[in-house]
Amino acid sequence: MSAPPAPPVPAGFSRRGLLAGAAGLALLAATAGCTPGSSGEAARETAEQVDRLAAQVAVQEAVVAAYAAAGTADPALRAELAVPADQARDQLDRLREAAPSSAASSSAASSGRASSTAAAPALAPPAGGDVRAWLREQIGTAATSHATACVEVTGARAALLGSVAAGLRGHETALA
């Protein structure tokens, strides 16, 4: 005796397929900012958030400068720092692209906003000091600053700051 034939496949959408499609559309609408009650105004950043991001550009500029200073202070360390220094510069470029204007970062840094978020590193490691430890401290301070700012901004810029903070934590760990 053979097994009974499989029931015919219904034409059109199955209930499961319809529900999966509806869930996908809801997700797409939410990521596009089309959720009920949202508006273009709600998605825009406040001036305070823009200032915070500009301050983080200055913080990352300080990280890039710290890498350069560490490489100058300890030429033996320079080769080891080449890859993370390049990554820090790439992170700086991404932050600059996300910042509304380069002028904003300069004005935020000069007005002291950057120093309230994170202390800028000294231009050079202390003479005769542990260059690696000094650089690790500068990177850790910047990572904390980016992570703190991450929760104070919204959207893709928050994700970018979180990503940069995580990358710097990796640098900090590698220097340990």
Rounded Cα gap, residues 138 and 100, in angstroms: 26
pLDDT digits (tens, 9 = 90+) for 44-78: 557 777 788 899 999 999 999 999 999 999 999 99
Confidence of residue 167 (pLDDT cuts 50, 70, 90): very high
Measuring CA to CA, which residue among 29, 147, 135 is closest to residue 80?
Answer: 135
Radius of gyration of the chain (CA): 24
pTM over 0.85? The answer is no
Most confident of 22-31, 114-123, 166-175: 166-175
| pLDDT value at residue 13 | 44
- Mean pLDDT to the nearest integer, 28-56: 59
**Cβ neighbours of residue 54 under 8 Å, at least 6 residues apart?**
99, 100, 101, 104, 105, 107, 108, 109, 113
For residue 149, is pLDDT > 50? Answer: yes
Domain formed by 46-175, architecture:
Up-down Bundle (1.20)
For residue 95, is pLDDT > 90? Answer: yes
Q: Domain spans of the chain?
A: 46-175
